[in-house]
Structure 1
Amino acid sequence: MSSAQTIIGLVYDYDQTLSPSYMTDEVVFPHFGINGAQFWKRTKELVDEQGYDNELAYLKALLDYLSPDRPSNAELRTLGAKLQFYPGLPGMFDEMEKVLRPEHRALGIRLEHYIISAGLKELLEGSALRPHVKAVFGSEFAEDREGRISFPRRVISHTTKTQFLFRINKGMLLPHEDVNDHMPSELRPIPFKHMIYIGDGPTDVPCFTLMRRYGGNAVAVYNPEDQTRGSFRKCWQLSGQADRVRHIAPSDYRPGSHLRLLVEEMVEEIADGILRRQRDEVENATISAPGY
């Protein structure tokens, strides 16, 4: 028996996608008095001189700077409440429901939102976005016997982000579920063609590529307030010669913005496709009564 496959998944990167700031710079550094320039210099040294992966270098440097009085995960979650976002968030998550028409809802079509970030999951768990999303995937720390963060429990890099797209695709959202288990495509709750991925740059390339390969949708966003135009250039390159995405838009999530119009059209197009498929299946399964 096939799955109903009536869920549309909207998946977001976080840093520079939903927020103009990096989450650690915005709330962790000020709270603990960490010099951001020195922190990122140290992170780069770990990569260049000691061969660390970028994400592990970031987590090690963070643990070093927070020692010896490291916070708990609960404290990090509390800091997440201070995170700020691009215009239109978090209101957009609920407003998007209006795109679905009564005939879509009657069929059970609905939206689910997800965040996949290399940043700290606990900050996002405490943010104003969390009540509006189905799941958050991010890097995590384990705690020691005193309840203080001690060692990376989960590290998400720009390449491993794709694992979580497959988790969403298969409905395997919990860490203990083996995403490599075989699941026929017709049983997967959210086919890739029913997904929309929104990211901001080169770190999202693996996810953009996966979306293109499996018929999904992707949008690269840029900060319109960036006077250097660096944010825009990243998106321009992704949509040009690199051919990673078809659409780019400013990071403005308010009603009527270019980004909102793009995403709303994608949602409506996917919903109409689900509706059309379901109607075709009913018609093809129906046998006309004998004529007289």
Structure 2
Amino acid sequence: MTQVKKTDFRKPQATKPVCNRIAVVFDFDDTLAPDTFDELIKRLGLDVNEFRQQHYESLKEAGWDHVAARFYCLIQESKRRKEKITKDYLVQFGQDLQPFKDVTEMFDRLQQKVQELNPQIELEFYIITGGFAEVVRNTCIASYFKKIWGCEFHYAENSEIEFLKRSISHTEKTRYLMHIASGADQVDGDGRSFAYRDVSENQLHVPLSQMIYVGDGASDVPCFSVLNDEGGIAIGVYKGDTVEKWSQHIEVTESQRVTNLAPADYQAESELMRSLNLAIESLCKQISLRQLSKGE
């Protein structure tokens, strides 16, 4: 009698690869802290609404990209002032900027949650912002992040802001999600873009399906869409007491919807922290299931 060879369904090729890593990716402005553009305008002693109407909004109406318009306005303001906007000025501004209440405690709380669920899993935090990278890098929470990407200034010889060196637009944010997935140290590298679907999952630093993205507005919608497509988790946040304001300013398609939309409140029992904890728990259980299939 011919013996039928039994298939070992526990072999690696029969089950999905295991990546013991979760990435939580945050926008910064109005997500973890007040809008840095508005706060910087206030620090310069100017009225935010007047500055926007007289300078920023007029450029947008003339067809400027909103990120380029924002940086150009500040560069021109620096030129007009006796006290220039320098690198040191931005560093000090970042050091003085206070994140939202309990943001500083949030990182350790989420790390503790992961340790309770599965000590083998690593939890990493990232920032992708259309705001000022120099400012974020000098905040009290900067050390919690594995990488921080944001817009960059080129500085003149006297350290005054002079040109926009790096811009991160709405759709550009998704590019940085891909670099988190790849684990690449340099975003530009040799100029070749990272093709996510051309790389096997066991070669990824962290799959998009094991990412959580937290953002507050229109600039985050492309990231919401990418993670929805790839099985990750998108969480929207809003300021104030009512969600209607968020809905009025942001139109999303079905593929761009978030898993939950909560106030930007990082206190331990808030809806946002419960959302983050549930998202972490969900991903930890999926990873634990894969570990079980590998006999780990």
Q: Same fold (TM over 0.5)?
A: yes
Which whole-Å deviations, capped at 9, do the CAs of 1:19-44 have from their partners, x for residues lacking one?
2x311222x22332233223212111
SS of alignment partner, residue 100 of structure 1: helix
2: CA distance, partners of 1:223 / 1:59: 24
- Match 2:43 to one of 31, 47, 51: 31
Q: How big is each residue's C-alpha offset from its partner over 1:88-122, in whole Å with a ceiling of 9 and x where there is no partner?
A: 211101111111245721x3x11111111111111
Q: Secondary structure at the match of 1:55?
A: helix
Q: Quote the offset at 1:70 in angstroms.
A: 3.1
Q: Name the CA distance, whole Å, in 1 between partners of 2:211 and 2:192.
A: 18
Match of 1:286 in 2: none
2:201 matched to 1:185?
yes
Tell whether 2:217 aligns with 1:201.
yes
Separation in structure 2 between the aligned mates of residue 52 and residue 219 of structure 1, nearest angstrom? 29
Is 1:95 matched up with 2:109?
yes
User: Aligned equivalents of 1:165 and 1:242: distance in 2?
Assistant: 17
Structure 2 residue 171 is matched with structure 1 residue 159: yes
- Pairing 1:50-129 to 2, within 5 Å after superposition: 51-67=63-79, 70-101=84-115, 104-105=118-119, 107=120, 109-129=121-141
Question: What SS is found at the alignment partner of 1:282?
Answer: coil
Structure 1 residues 136-166: Cα deviation after superposition (integer angstroms, max 9, x where no partner): 1110001122222211110111111111111
Cα distance in structure 2, aligned partners of 1:128 and 1:92: 13
> How much identity, in percent, do the aligned residues show?
28
Q: For the Cα contact (< 8 Å) 2:179–2:194, is it kept in 1?
A: no
TM-score (norm 1): 0.85
Name structure 1 gaps, 5 residues minimum: 284-292
Q: Report the TM-score when normalising by structure 2.
A: 0.84
The runs of at least 4 consecutive aligned structure 1 residues that moved more than 4 Å come to 1-4, 232-235, 240-243
Instruction: Determine the C-alpha separation between the residues in 2 that align with 1:97 and 1:267.
Output: 10
Find the aligned partners of 1:272 and 1:179 in 2 and give their Cα distance.
35
User: In the alignment, which residue of structure 1 is the partner of 2:269?
Assistant: 256
The alignment covers a number of residue pairs equal to 275
> 1:27-67 CA deviation, whole Å, 9 max, x = no partner?
x2233223322321211111212x21111011111100111
Give 1:186 shift.
2.2
User: Which of 215, 236, 255 lines up with 2:231 in the alignment?
Assistant: 215
Aligned-pair RMSD on alpha carbons?
A: 2.5
Match of residue 7 from structure 2 = none
Shift of 1:171: 0.9
Name the aligned partner's letter for residue 54 of structure 1. Answer: H
1:163 is paired with a residue of what secondary structure?
helix
Structure 1 window deviating more from structure 2 (258-267 vs 33-42): it is 33-42
The answer to whether the 8 A contact 1:3-1:188 is kept is no
Matching residue's letter, 2:277: E
Please say if residues 63 and 70 of structure 1, whose CA atoms lie closer than 8 Å, have aligned partners that are also in contact: no
In 2, the alpha carbon distance for the partners of 1:139 and 1:253 equals 25
Distance in 2, matches of 1:78 and 1:217, equals: 34
